[in-house]
Amino acid sequence: MTRWIVFAAILLASRSYAQSTAPRPAFEMASVKPSANCESGGRAPDVSPGRFDVPCTTLRIFIRLAYSAFVGANLNSRRIEVVGGPRWMDSDRYDISAKAEGGASAAQMAPMLQALLEDRFQVKVHMGSQDSPVYALTVAKGNPNLRPSKEGSCTPIDLTNLTRLPLKPGEPAPRYCGLAGVKRNGETLMPDWYGVTMAEFAGRWLPLYVMDRPIIDNTGLTGQFDIHLEFVRGSAPQGPMLLNGQPSPDLQAPPADSTGSSIFKALETQLGLKLSPTKAPLDVIIVDQAEKPSEN
């Protein structure tokens, strides 16, 4: 479970990118195969020192991982959308298993993954900007009901080693800064974030539950917070999903929810925050070319 959570954090992070012709490091060994039996669950992704093993994943997601997941050795606070490219980029799934010399970290393997995608999938991308439908996260009114994170309340993520030793009997799972642990009570989801910034909360985590458009942080709040939220996921408007990497252009407000159980109502009543539909210019990675992969 920990690997899936950290992998989700990597997947949702982003940075600006411009493709370069400068030489980049390459994996020592790499295998690219069409995925089989993705619906049966399969193995968890393993991104550990010198090891990149990610199954059942679309090319669009691999592009996001390769070109937009890191700022130097760190995760950024939000993901960047990958737009354009052929339709099979969202339907065909692949297993990529690769080995890097010297115990390279996840961030150090990003340019290696770029080189692999450009070799096997003939990927070509460039950075652009487009005026996009978004939700803006703002302070609803007065003082928000947010608890500043206390020193030591969470464990910083070590991107040089995303594996974790098995817990000893009775040992609690660590609380990673900027990540969430989620409990469920029937239809109610109860995520807890520790040491999370508003930029991370808006750009990295809320899009897991409000999926019809990106979310930008307009709260003006600084620092790190420990956040608890309770809502019914099914009551949140899901809207049209991304089609070929392009967000839906509609800007209708979310439907009214008299029960107060949607994530929109929960943000306002529990945290004093608000999501409002608007438009904003967003950086995007534009796919100029992609072909189905060559044989290993």
pLDDT of 171 above 90: no
251 pLDDT band, cuts 50/70/90, is: very low
Give the pLDDT score at 68: 82
In a domain, residue 295? The reply is no
Taking residues 12-37, what's their average pLDDT?
72
162 pLDDT band, cuts 50/70/90, is: low
Q: Could you tell me which residues are beta bridge partners of residue 280?
A: 132
- Cβ partners under 8 Å of residue 168, min gap 6: none
Task: Please say whether the beta carbons of 287 and 123 come within 8 A.
Answer: yes
Give the pLDDT score at 296: 65
Give the pLDDT score at 246: 37
Give the pLDDT score at 204: 85
Give the pLDDT score at 151: 85
74 pLDDT band, cuts 50/70/90, is: low
Taking residues 102-120, what's their average pLDDT?
91
pLDDT of 101 above 70: yes
Measured between alpha carbons, how far apart are the two ends of the chain, in Å? 30
**Span 198-247, pLDDT tens digits:** 999 998 889 888 888 889 999 999 999 999 999 997 543 443 333 333 33
In this structure, the answer to whether residues 103 and 243 fall within a common structural domain is: no
Average pLDDT of the residues of the chain = 80
SS3 89: helix
Higher pLDDT, 244 or 180: 180
Q: Distance (Å, rounded) from C-alpha 112 to C-alpha 248?
A: 33
For Cα atoms 192, 195, 199, give the angle at the middle one, nearest 5 degrees. Answer: 95
Give the pLDDT score at 250: 36
- What is the percentage of the chain residues whose pLDDT exceeds 70? 76
In this structure, the answer to whether residues 190 and 259 fall within a common structural domain is: yes
Give the pLDDT score at 238: 40
In this structure, the answer to whether residues 17 and 98 fall within a common structural domain is: yes
Task: Please say whether the beta carbons of 54 and 95 come within 8 A.
Answer: yes
Query: CA nearest 196: which of 217, 169, 212?
Result: 217
Q: Parallel, antiparallel, or unpaired for β 124-139 and 225-228?
A: unpaired
In a domain, residue 226? The reply is yes
Give the pLDDT score at 235: 43
Give the pLDDT score at 266: 94
In this structure, the answer to whether residues 274 and 141 fall within a common structural domain is: yes
Task: Please say whether the beta carbons of 25 and 133 come within 8 A.
Answer: no
Higher pLDDT, 105 or 1: 105
Give the pLDDT score at 59: 97
In this structure, the answer to whether residues 174 and 108 fall within a common structural domain is: no
Give the pLDDT score at 71: 55
Among 29-33, 57-61, 175-179, 244-248, the range scoring the smallest mean pLDDT is: 244-248
In this structure, the answer to whether residues 93 and 161 fall within a common structural domain is: no
Higher pLDDT, 170 or 65: 65
Query: CA nearest 285: which of 98, 83, 20?
Result: 83
| Owner of token pair 């642990």 | 181
| Number of domains making up the chain | 2
Q: Distance (Å, rounded) from C-alpha 93 to C-alpha 88?
A: 9
In this structure, the answer to whether residues 27 and 163 fall within a common structural domain is: no
In a domain, residue 187? The reply is yes
170 pLDDT band, cuts 50/70/90, is: confident
Q: What are phi and psi of 138, to 5 degrees?
A: -130, 170
In this structure, the answer to whether residues 90 and 159 fall within a common structural domain is: no
Q: Could you tell me which residues are beta bridge partners of residue 155?
A: 176
Q: Is 27 left (phi over 0), alpha (psi -120 to 50) or beta?
A: beta
pLDDT of 254 above 90: no
- What range defines the domain where residue 210 resides? 131-281
Give the pLDDT score at 167: 65
- Cβ partners under 8 Å of residue 16, min gap 6: 80, 127, 283
In this structure, the answer to whether residues 142 and 242 fall within a common structural domain is: yes
- What is the percentage of the chain residues whose pLDDT exceeds 90? 46
In this structure, the answer to whether residues 135 and 239 fall within a common structural domain is: yes
Tokens of 280: 């904003």
Give the pLDDT score at 153: 82
Higher pLDDT, 42 or 138: 138
Q: Could you tell me which residues are beta bridge partners of residue 75?
A: 70
211 burial (CB, 10 Å; 0-12 / 13-18 / 19+) is middle
Q: Parallel, antiparallel, or unpaired for β 180-185 and 188-196?
A: antiparallel
In a domain, residue 296? The reply is no
